[in-house]
Amino acid sequence: MSPDYENILRSVESLSADEQRQLIARVAYRLSDCNVPGSRVSILELQGLGKDLWRDLDAQEYVDRERSSWNG
């Protein structure tokens, strides 16, 4: 593997689990057909997208954490 790949992998490993999940979602989107100019996607194709990312998160805790971040 290239040195760039190894450096990126080390950087990813230093991220929190939430940041790693966000990164995975962004990379997956970049590699998906959804990102091809001129392609059309039905909103129904998004059903269930990322559900594994949220499986172990309590929704209320997440919302509370997000709200508290708004206040600095």
Average pLDDT over the chain reads 85
> Mean pLDDT, to the nearest integer, of 57-62?
91
Number of domains in the chain: 1
* CA 43 to chain CA centroid, nearest Å: 18
Half-sphere exposure of 8 (CA within 13 A, CB side): 8
Nearest-angstrom CA–CA distance, 26 and 32: 10
> Residues 3-28: what's their mean pLDDT?
91
**Has residue 20 got a pLDDT over 70?**
yes
CB 25 within 8 A of CB 50: yes
Domain span at 28: 3-70
- Indicate if the pLDDT at residue 60 is higher than 90: yes
Please tell me the predicted confidence (pLDDT) of residue 35: 65
Percentage above 70 pLDDT, the chain: 90
Total-model pTM: 0.45
